[in-house]
């Protein structure tokens, strides 16, 4: 299985000019950004994932939904290479994570960002230093004024107020922590973003603002996004496509309107929580 996949040259994605929307819009034709094939994970004697497969095409916002404990966070950790799956294959930008060396994986990490469920900001650094950290690591030759300029931009893009830059993470509200974490995830101009429950713990107004920030960023920066969420409003308002994870398998994959109509007990009760209102 893996040979057939790796035979395809991975260069197609990388040479795609970032600024050209014509190629972005023809997303269905271009090579996938993320490919997950028959992924299996065993945790505590239980198969958390038992043959999970899906793909992400450039420019898409895809929502991954499933009950609490269905393995969404674990799956994201595997996609970014923090965990190894117990079976199956994960490809980012056409390259098989399992076959990559440490160096190649480090280089690849510059091309995607991850927003952890609780932000995972460095608690001993100010917000601005948190955003500057990836720039310092990967672009050490960038002069301090240029780095500050980029940091200010990312904070502004993530929708943080000016005075947040010099605060410590422990002084931020939940919504601001998420925004600060988003700014850090955006620091290196990633092509791909993984977001773990970006709007959980936010009030509905902040959550919608976060969604619209994300939409604008995706449309104008040409990002591809995979997010997990429990927020039905994000699902309807933001996601181009929904993937439903249930009992270790993908039971639905398609536009929200279609998925919401599927006759499956879990999907029914998931979407019906909103229909009651």
Partner 1 sequence: MSNAASPEPCCHLELGADGQVLRLRGDWTLARLPELQARLHALAIDPLQPLQLDASGLGALDSAGANHLLSHLERLGVPFPNLHLAGFSAQGLALLNLVAGRRGGVAPHSRRRGRRGLRQVVGWHAFDIARGTRSGLAFIGQTGQALGHLLRHPGLVRWRELFVQLEMVGLRALPIVMLMSYLIGVVFAYLLGIQMQKFSANHLVVDGVGIGIAREMAPLITAVLMAGRSGAAFTAHLGAMKVNQEIDAIVTLGLSPFQVLVLPRLFAIVLMLPLLTFVADVAGFVGAAHVAAWHLDIPTASFYDRLRDVLPLNTVLFGLEKTPVFAAAIALIACHSGFTVKRDARSVGLHTTATVVRSIVAVILIDAIFAVAYPEIEP
Ligand X SMILES: Nc1ncnc2c1ncn2[C@@H]1O[C@H](COP(=O)(O)OP(=O)(O)O)[C@@H](O)[C@H]1O
- Dist CA 233 CA 231 (whole Å): 5
Residue 50 phi/psi, 5° resolution? -130, 75
Number of Cβ atoms within 10 Å of the Cβ of 12: 13
For residues 255 and 244, the answer to whether their CB atoms sit within 8 Å is: no
For partner 1, the binding residue among 1, 29, 102, 162 (CB under 8 A) is 162
Check residue 150 for interaction with partner 1 (CB under 8 A): yes
- Dist CA 16 CA 204 (whole Å): 37
The owner of tokens 């398609």 is 254
Check residue 273 for interaction with ligand X (CB under 6 A): no
Question: How many residues bind to partner 1 according to rule CB under 8 A?
Answer: 43
Stretch that binds partner 1, among 85-93, 152-160, 250-258, 261-269 (CB under 8 A): 152-160
What angle separates helix 144-157 from helix 127-138, to the nearest 10 degrees? Answer: 120
For residues 85 and 78, the answer to whether their CB atoms sit within 8 Å is: yes
Residue 121 phi/psi, 5° resolution? -70, 150
Check residue 188 for interaction with partner 1 (CB under 8 A): yes
For Mg ion, the binding residue among 6, 30, 55, 73 (CB under 5 A) is 73
Beta carbon nearer to ligand X, 89 or 228:
228
Check residue 170 for interaction with partner 1 (CB under 8 A): yes
Check residue 106 for interaction with partner 1 (CB under 8 A): no
- For residue 25 the two structure tokens come to 């819009």
- Dist CA 190 CA 59 (whole Å): 12
- Dist CA 190 CA 213 (whole Å): 16
Q: Which partner in ligand X, Mg ion, partner 1, none is near 166 (CB below 5 to 8 A by kind)? A: partner 1
Compute the least distance from the CB of residue 58 to Mg ion, in Å: 25
* Per-residue binding letters, 29-68, with ligand X (x by CB under 6 A): --------------xx---x-----------------x-x
Q: Which partner in partner 1, ligand X, Mg ion, none is near 48 (CB below 5 to 8 A by kind)? A: ligand X
Nearest partner of 240 among 225, 221, 260, 251, judged by Cα? 225
Which of positions 74-133 make contact with ligand X (CB under 6 A)? Answer: 74
Binding site for partner 1 (CB under 8 A): 17-22, 24, 122-124, 126, 128, 139, 141-143, 146, 148-150, 152-157, 159, 162-163, 165-166, 168-170, 186, 188-189, 216-217, 219-222
Residue ranges in contact with ligand X by CB under 6 A: 43-44, 48, 66, 68-74
């Amino acid at each position: 299985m893996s040979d057939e996949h790796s035979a395809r040259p991975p260069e197609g994605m990388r040479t795609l000019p970032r600024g050209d929307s014509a190629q972005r819009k023809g997303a269905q034709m271009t090579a996938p950004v993320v490919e997950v094939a028959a992924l299996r994970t065993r945790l505590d004697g239980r198969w958390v994932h038992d043959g999970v497969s899906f793909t992400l095409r450039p420019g898409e916002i895809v929502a991954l939904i499933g009950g609490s404990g269905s393995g969404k966070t674990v799956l994201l950790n595997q996609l970014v290479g923090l965990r190894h799956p117990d079976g199956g294959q994960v490809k980012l930008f056409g390259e098989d994570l399992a076959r990559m060396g440490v160096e190649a994986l480090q280089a690849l990490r510059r091309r995607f960002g991850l927003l952890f469920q609780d932000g995972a900001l460095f608690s001993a650094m100010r917000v601005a230093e948190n955003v500057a950290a990836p720039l310092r690591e990967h672009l050490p030759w960038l002069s301090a004024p240029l780095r500050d300029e980029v940091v200010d931009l990312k904070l502004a893009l993530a929708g943080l107020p000016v005075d947040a830059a010099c605060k410590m993470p422990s002084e931020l509200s939940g919504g601001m922590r998420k925004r600060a974490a988003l700014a850090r995830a955006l620091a290196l101009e990633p092509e791909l973003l993984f977001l773990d429950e970006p709007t959980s713990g936010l009030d509905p107004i902040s959550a919608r603002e976060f969604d619209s920030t994300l939409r604008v960023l995706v449309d104008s920066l040409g990002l591809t996004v995979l997010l997990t969420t429990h927020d039905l409003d994000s699902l309807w308002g933001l996601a181009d496509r929904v993937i439903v994870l249930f009992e270790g398998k993908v039971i639905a994959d398609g536009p929200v309107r279609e998925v919401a109509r599927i006759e499956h007990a879990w999907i029914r009760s998931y979407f019906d929580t909103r229909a009651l209102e």
